[in-house]
Amino acid sequence: MFTLFHHPFCPHSRFIRLVLGEHGLDLRLVEERAWERREAFLVLNPAGTTPVLIAEGRPAIPGAGIIAEYLDESHGAAMGERRLLPSGMNERIEVRRLMAWFNEKFFEEASHPLVTERIYKRFMREDDGGGPPAADVIRAAKANVRYHLAYIGWLARTRNFLAGDRLSYADLAAAAHLSAIDYLGDVPWVEDDAAKAWYARVKSRPVVPSAAERMAGRRAGVADLCGPRLLTITGLVPRMLRNAEGCAFRGPLRCAADPGPIPAWGLVGPGSAEQRTGRCCASPGERCTASGTRTRTGDS
Ligand SMILES: N[C@@H](CCC(=O)N[C@@H](CS)C(=O)NCC(=O)O)C(=O)O
């Protein structure tokens, strides 16, 4: 039996829950609000971040990457063909590269700002950083999602799963971060059919958002509008967004400026300066104003 200190909307915690689910391991969940910096939790992980795994007879295991490596070392061989970190050296490098891509880069550029602005800030006290969501941060993060989705689509078109032939940690890390923001209606699935089809395949696996996640979403005021009765009601709601499963969410308006076509992968990577600074909806040389119109950079 493992114990996982997690938060329902922490994408790294989601990743580890998916990994433990694939391994078929029993799990006790303890919800941790990392921003409260609880002393007993800081003793387990002085970095104060979730997830932290407690395995009998081991020191506390902090961090998604370290937990994933530990689980592969302790339980991977027993998975046989279904091992999530493949045995070949080259394949392992590619899985680790993509696992880091999602747990670090995607997190920094997309899932962390979106989850923080839309959910965590509602729970946090003002002196802990709580307050209303910052529209410019959300806009920048949503623009970053488009580039990441294009990359995922490119991987899904060229391989069976993201890192190769088989399901791996790369797929679970990507799905965990995407699912946190898909829940919020922040993934423009219509832009990439290959990414959408890959996600549907990974999401069809047995591990789904827990009741705790749904509850946390409701407490945060993010209505989970799946279900026939509510779907008919939302038919009347303007600015409705749908996630990959066709669930409806009320979402913020996208920036009114036309973001233009996503460049072919490799020309512009996620995380470029333009994307990070909130000039997300505009082409290079332009910026997007608060009212959603474009101006040339340097214009007053
Ligand atoms: N490197 C860590 C980062 C984990 C992380 O940033 N967790 C977030 C929630 S998803 C957190 O606890 N943030 C609180 C903080 O940074 O103080 C990992 O891979 O697990």
Burial pattern 95-121, b for ≥16 Cβ within 10 A else e, equals: bbebbebbbebbbebbbbbbbbbbbbb
Please give the Cα distance from 259 to 275 (Å, whole number).
11
* Cβ(293)–Cβ(256) below 8 Å: yes
**Is the pLDDT assigned to residue 245 strictly greater than 90?**
no
Task: Bin 67: left if φ > 0, else alpha if -120 < ψ < 50, else beta.
Answer: alpha
Distances (CA, A) of 89 to 92, 97, 261: 5, 12, 37
Question: Would the CB of 10 count as within 6 Å of ligand 1?
Answer: yes
Nearest-atom index, ligand 1, CA of 115: 10
**Distance from residue 58's CA to the centre of ligand 1 (Å):** 21
Please give the Cα distance from 11 to 177 (Å, whole number).
5
Least confident of 20-24, 56-60, 271-275: 271-275
Query: pLDDT tens, 152-170?
Result: 999 999 999 999 999 999 9
What is residue 289's predicted lDDT score, i.e. its pLDDT? 39
pTM of the model: 0.74
Residue 31's DSSP bridge partners are 6
* Cβ contacts of 219 within 8 Å, gap of 6 or more: 123
Query: pLDDT tens, 39-71?
Result: 999 999 999 999 999 999 999 999 999 999 999
Where residue 217 falls among pLDDT bands split at 50, 70, 90? Answer: low
Which residue from 12, 19, 177 has its CB within 8 A of the most atoms of ligand 1, so it is best to mutate?
Answer: 12
What would the CATH number be for the domain defined by 2-82?
3.40.30.10
